[in-house]
A and B are shown apart, each in its own frame.
Chain A
């Protein structure tokens, strides 16, 4: 049996292929939009995965360290290490800032970590781990830095010794890992002008600058510039211990807030990125609807374009089923080409996006089914039009 659809496609193949390509790009945009949404959620997940923690211990009554500021004394980890069920605990700091390299700067999340403890960068794609206690950094490749680069964070220069991949903050900013002591200084030490102003202000205070008490002013000024705070303590629970129980004990006895992985995910996904995720989802829905409408119109106009041919087919006695089948097959073919082009295009341009775009195979599969269903539904409109063609138009014109 001759494939009517195939014949028709062969007849006007350039039109068909170009339409398929156009549709494909539209599907590509839709898939990318889904990928952007997935990427946002994955950024949040990656942040939690990479920290390598089971529990996040933060300041009481805060949703820190990612969603809200949190400040703890940096010896809090010692008390937590002594709790039952805690295997390892380490202080970390997080600070989102512009990191300078020469003339340019990059927005990055600077992480202060203790080597060998939770919070350290897990695997590298280039270079080595930090070996010195100061002035070395491991950066994410997204920052654009290379091994051996000198970068500036506040007043110190750091040497990039290693690179990571997919180490991002919940906002998608690449991370830069530096030793905890340096990060504390970067976070809490003010700039030189502010320090000098503060010294002058303290010296002008007669209660603090007493003539009869030498050394008091110096002591106060020294205490003003040193800071011993961190943002969170990351905890790994011992094998066999229940994270929820350990968290409950920390909350009860240490007067600190402790979040489990589940709670942290909830905070990040449900609270931190909720609005932007909804925004993307809304756009995704509109795109899907628009794509469906466009597919329907394309198939409809394609059918209208060959009214005369359809009339001839009717005149020679072709059955309605055959004609409907031809239009459906063409629509499905268009859908397949569109999907393949779209998936290819989305995969090709995904790495170019500044933020992470995650194309899940499940999403692609779902997208494929939806495209086919939309094509099938859209072809009904064209089929109705084709079946209503009067065979007389073939002769009468």
Chain B
């Protein structure tokens, strides 16, 4: 079958038109001739609520390391991790080694001291008696000597005897005092030993929960080393680290939302309890403690938490999305899509919120249309085509 040449010509021309049309369409949609697709937004008058975001770990405000004051061996540990303890409860005991024997030795020493006191007392009585006799003799000989009944030398002898007896009495007095002092010394020694014995028992300084059991009975620990660790579960808070560059406005009392890693969907209310004066110079972070309004059940120390602090809402002004901000050289600004084309307007941001809105201090008026998303880098002469959305998923 042979078709007329005219119809063939028409088909050919139609084919040619389709081909050239497709080619032209593609050239206009892609490549350097095409307009850049952008999305725009109108600048609105409004205010942004700045917020700070940081991460931290749950820590205990009050925690204790319980250990001996001298090196020694652990004799027994009465409590285990997780156990609640009351203030003053015995948690563990150190091996007293020879403390009890030394106490027995001291007791014996004290008994001996008592006897020594008694002996000294008796010696003093004896010396007193000797002295009284010597005094009587001396007086008598002095009377006789004055009437010249005895020789002077005999009188002098009796006087010397009286002096010696007085000295012996003084010595006996001193002996007695020394024996009493000895007893006092031994009593003090015994008191010290009792203190040491008491130190061997490790007591809870306050009510809390045992968080770690670092040494078992039989192990040797040095002075200051922990046998047990105690935390006060009522004092748990979050030690949060904020990037220094985004920590302006951080102060105690700010309301906080705490999201624990174990329950991502449940923000817990809290409040900044303390802002530490010392910032971390190495990590360039500031540190603040955020307390829970109500401490949740089953909270674990060391758990990671994300904390968002709400700052007071700032002044009103032109508000736009942060994706609109561009950097041209050293200036930050936005592309304003005016009727006569694109214009780069430098702006200064005054406040930013966590949901991506910024308030600019100057450069823009509410109602200005600014480019938010752009397919390509824009320039002052760029042709643009405004679309609703640029991102086709999965492309």
By a beta-carbon cutoff of 8 Å, the part of chain A in contact with chain B is 9-10, 13, 17, 52, 75, 87, 114-115, 122-129, 131-135, 141-142, 144, 146-147, 161-163, 165, 181, 211-212, 214, 228, 239, 337, 340-341, 343-344, 347-348, 351, 359, 361
The residue from B12, B31, B243 contacting A10, defined by CB atoms under 8 A apart: B12
Query: In the bound complex, what is the Cα–Cα distance between A9 and B15 (angstroms)?
Result: 14
Q: A131-B352, A131-B354, A344-B19 are in contact. Are A126 and B225 (CB under 8 A)?
A: no
Q: What chain B residues lie within 8 Å of A239 (beta carbons)?
A: 329-330
**Shortest Cβ distance from B391 into A: residue:** A126
Closest chain B residue to A132, Cβ basis: B53
Which one of B87-95, B97-105, B122-130, B369-377 contacts A?
B369-377
- What residues of B have a CB within 8 angstroms of the CB of A340 in the complex? 19-20, 23
A135 nearest CB across to chain B (Å): 7
What residue of chain B has the Cβ atom nearest to residue A214's Cβ?
B225
Residues of B within 8 A of A351 (CB): 395
The smallest beta-carbon distance between A50 and chain B, in angstroms, is: 10
- In the complex the two chains form, is B22's CB within 8 Å of A344's CB? yes
* Residue from A122, A128, A134, A343 within 8 A of B356 (CB atoms): A128
Check A134–B31 contact: CB distance below 8 A.
no
Q: In the bound complex, do residue A124 and residue B373 qualify as a contact, i.e. CB atoms below 8 Å apart?
A: yes
Instruction: Pull 11 A–B residue pairs with CB atoms less than 8 Å apart, ordered by A.
Output: A13-B12, A17-B15, A122-B327, A125-B375, A127-B391, A128-B323, A133-B243, A134-B54, A165-B390, A337-B19, A343-B23
CB-based contact B26/A52 at 8 Å: no
B30 within 8 A of partner (CB)? yes
**Interface size bucket, B side?**
35 or more
Interface string of B243-268 (1 = CB under 8 A from A): 10110000000000000000000000
Q: How far is the CB of A211 from chain B (nearest CB, A)?
A: 7
Check if A10 sits within 8 Å of B9, measured CB to CB.
yes
Known: A13-B12, A125-B373. A134 touches B391 (CB 8 A): no
If A125-B375, A126-B390, A214-B226 touch, whether A133 touches B327 (CB-CB below 8 Å) is: no
Known interface pairs A181-B243, A344-B26; 7 further A-B residue pairs with C-beta atoms within 8 A, sorted by A's residue number: A10-B5, A17-B12, A122-B377, A125-B390, A141-B391, A214-B222, A348-B26
Separation of A340 and B375 alpha carbons in the complex (Å):
26
Given the known inter-chain contacts A13-B12, A124-B323, A344-B23, please indicate yes or no for A131 contacting B394, CB distance below 8 A.
no
Q: Which of B32, B282, B322, B374 is the one whose CB lies under 8 Å from A129? A: B322
Contact between chains at A128 and B322 (CB < 8 Å): yes
Chain A: CB-nearest residue to B371: A123
On whether the beta carbons of B373 and A123 are closer than 8 Å, the reply is yes
Residues of chain A within 8 A (CB-CB) of B352 are 131
Does B205 touch A at the CB level, under 8 Å?
no
Of all chain B residues, which has the CB nearest A163? Answer: B391
Asked if B314 is at the interface of the complex by the 8 Å CB criterion, the answer is no
B11: A residues at CB distance < 8 A: 13
Q: List, in ascending order, chain B residues with CB within 8 A of A133's CB.
A: 53-55, 242-243, 246
Assess whether B161 is interfacial by the CB under 8 Å rule: no
Q: In the docked arrangement, what's the CA distance between A131 and B352, Å?
A: 8
B330-350 interface bits toward A, Cβ cutoff 8 Å, 1 = contact, 0 = none: 100000000000000000000
A124 to B224, CA, bound (A): 57
Q: Which residues of B are found within 8 Å of A124, using beta-carbon distances?
A: 323, 372-373
The yes or no answer to B148 lying at the interface (CB within 8 A) is no
- Pick the residue among A87, A144, A359 that contacts B31 (CB under 8 A): A359
* Complex CA distance for A144 and B392, rounded to whole angstroms: 9
A39 to chain B, nearest CB (A): 14
Out of A122, A211, A337, name the residue touching B220 (CB < 8 Å).
A211
Measured CA separation A17–B8 after assembly (Å)? 12
CB-CB under 8 A from B20, the residues of chain A are 340
* B5-18 interface code vs A (CB 8 A; 1 in, 0 out): 10011011001000
Greatest chain B CB density within 10 A among A124, A125, A212, A239 is at A125
The minimal Cβ–Cβ distance linking B15 to chain A, given in whole angstroms, is 6
Q: Is B76 an interface residue (CB 8 A)?
A: no
> Which partner residue on chain B sits nearest A236 by CB separation?
B330
Contact B326 A123 (CB under 8 A): yes
Could you say which of B23, B220, B356 contacts A161, with CB atoms under 8 Å apart? B356
A341 to B353, CA, bound (A): 51
Q: List A contacts of B45 (CB < 8 A).
A: none
Contacts of A123 in B (CB 8 A): 323, 326, 373-374, 377
Residues from chain B with Cβ under 8 Å of A163 in the complex: 391
| One of B224, B326, B330, B373 near A126 (C-beta < 8 A) | B373
A343 to B22, CA, bound (A): 10
A87, A129, A212, A337 interface centre (most CB from chain B within 10 Å): A129
